[in-house]
């Protein structure tokens, strides 16, 4: 971890603020909105400023260097377009943070399901408690685990 220290007074605040992020990439660019617009600006910049001059050089002077530069420009433009379109396409459904994948129901110990049921009074609070213990667990999977455990416990557990 890299501490950020602005002054002696703010040293603790800067280090504590950095600890909130999972990686340096998230510290550098914490907002998905900023990332989305940055990718769009890079794409526009590649198309407007580099595109016409690169194509013009290949047409007027078709040397190997100009063709190689065109290939590099095409690769960068297509890659930038792909990532910009993906960022805009997925803007309303947030993706899990890196390192936080989905948790398979088979990875959840039965003891955790039992403790979630025992610590709450109803089905919905038990599902909520289980999902708090395992953040990558989906709602349907948590509901199925809780319902299966309640079925095993019989009528007294319901």
Long-range contacts of 118-124 (CB under 8 A, 24+ apart): 123/147, 123/150
In this prediction, residues 136-153 reach a mean pLDDT of 84
pLDDT at 3: 44
* pLDDT interval class at 86 (50, 70, 90): confident
Output the CA angle 148-150-151, nearest 5 degrees: 65
* pLDDT interval class at 64 (50, 70, 90): very high
Q: Is the pLDDT of residue 78 over 90?
A: yes
Q: Sign of torsion, CA 148 153 157 158?
A: positive
**Cα gap 70→52, rounded to integer Å:** 10
DSSP string computed for 88-143: HHTTTSPPPPTT--PPPGGGS-HHHHHHHHHTSSSHHHHHHHHHHHSTT--HHHHH
Residues 6+ apart with CB under 8 A from 10: none
Task: Work out the burial of residue 110: count CB atoms within 10 Å of its CB; fewer than 13 is exposed, 13-18 middle, 19 or more buried.
Answer: exposed
pLDDT tens for 37-55 read 888 898 999 899 988 988 9
Q: Is the pLDDT of residue 28 over 80?
A: no
In this prediction, residues 12-34 reach a mean pLDDT of 53
pTM of the prediction? 0.44
In this prediction, residues 115-131 reach a mean pLDDT of 88
């Amino acid at each position: 971890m890299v501490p950020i220290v602005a002054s002696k007074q703010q040293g603790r605040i800067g280090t504590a603020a950095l600890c909130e992020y999972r990686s340096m990439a998230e510290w550098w660019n914490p907002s998905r909105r900023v990332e989305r617009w940055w990718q769009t600006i890079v794409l526009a910049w590649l198309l407007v400023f580099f595109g016409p001059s690169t194509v013009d050089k290949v047409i007027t002077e078709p040397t190997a260097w100009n063709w190689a530069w065109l290939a590099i420009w095409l690769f960068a433009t297509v890659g930038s377009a792909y990532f910009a379109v993906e960022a805009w396409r997925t803007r309303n459904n947030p993706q899990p943070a890196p390192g936080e994948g989905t948790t398979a129901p088979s990875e959840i110990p039965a003891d955790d399901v039992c403790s979630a049921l025992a610590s709450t009074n109803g089905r919905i609070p038990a599902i909520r408690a289980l999902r708090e213990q395992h953040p990558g667990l989906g709602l349907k999977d948590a509901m199925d685990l809780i319902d299966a455990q309640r079925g095993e416990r019989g009528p007294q557990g319901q």
